[in-house]
Structure 1
Amino acid sequence: MNIFFGAVFLFSIILDQITKKWALTVLKNGSSIKIIKDFLRFSYVENRGAAFGILQNQIWFFVIITFIMIIFLAYMFFKYKNITNVSKLSIVLIAGGAIGNFIDRITMGFVVDFIDVRFGNFYDFPVFNVADSFVVCGTILLIILMLFNKFEKSENINE
């Protein structure tokens, strides 16, 4: 089973890096590609902050926080033997996404974002990337598991 989690982890990082290289090659010149009219387009953005552009130009803060988070996630994944496979999957998704953005911060000094979701003229969601999607999906899954007490395997107590 650990081979599966390792494959998901590597896939999340590789897919993220491939899509960002594509964005750098195709979109960096300022072009934007409409995918779904007035809803989804690909537009190049250099994000020097965190989600929604907060904490701009704090690269070392993000490097340190990401490093600490990866150590914590690895500890949870390998130390706790009683967590469910879905919990492990959520941890792997978060870690893979975090490392994808970590690679950008270390190599370029910013994170490449390019997925641009808009709700017509009503709302323009902040531009994000594949790594962000993995982090968000993994986090939502982890929260759901914890809320419904499904993070750990049930212990059968025979009385």
Structure 2
Amino acid sequence: MRIVLSALVAFGLDRLSKVWIVEWANLKERHYIEVFDPYLNFAMGWNKGVNFGLFAGHEEWTRWGLTVLALVVCVWIVWWARAQRGLWLHLGAGLVVGGALGNVWDRVQYGAVADYLNMSCCGFRNPYTFNVADIFIFAGAAMLIVLSGRTKDDA
């Protein structure tokens, strides 16, 4: 239940952020909104592949192939995590699943993942964008890596 609840929260926050920024603030047509330059800006990016746009060719095959792959991975993570113990491990699994489902929603709705967060610092202009789902996937995966090898005695 903890896995499902954390996945629903992550998915909901991702969807809310995308509706607010991409749709209501109309970033999909404005393309760029300065927020706190250069540290945080909204810059519209449509990712048709995986990280940094890798494998973005063959658009329809990639779109549906990545959608199916993400769903299979989500099912496997839930199946695997249910057999594990630990609140934080379950939370991490839920974050990965919720973030992945947020990006799956984008692929179905838009044909690509909606990326919009752009962060730069210290004289370096970052050309890449990401989204809230990516943050949840990264944080959840880090939690799974750190916590999955621990036993009850280690906790």
TM-score with structure 2 length normalisation?
Answer: 0.85
Where does 1:8-157 land on structure 2 (aligned, <5 Å)? 8-25=6-23, 26=25, 27-56=27-56, 57=59, 58-78=62-82, 80=83, 82-124=84-126, 126-146=128-148, 149-150=149-150, 152-154=151-153
The number of residues matched between the two structures is: 148
- What are structure 2's unaligned runs of at least 5 residues? none
Q: CA deviation at 1:12?
A: 0.9
Q: CA deviation at 1:8?
A: 2.1
TM-score with structure 1 length normalisation?
Answer: 0.83
Q: Which letter does structure 2 place at the counterpart of 1:34?
A: E
| CA pair 51-109 structure 1, distance change in 2 beyond 3 A | same
- What are structure 1's unaligned runs of at least 5 residues? none
Work out which of the two has the higher radius of gyration on C-alpha atoms and give 1 or 2: 1
Q: Which letter does structure 1 place at the counterpart of 2:46?
A: E
RMSD of aligned alpha carbons: 1.9
Measure the CA separation in 2 of the matches of 1:111 and 1:145: 29
Worse-superposed segment, 121-130 or 101-110: 121-130
| % identity of equivalent residues | 26
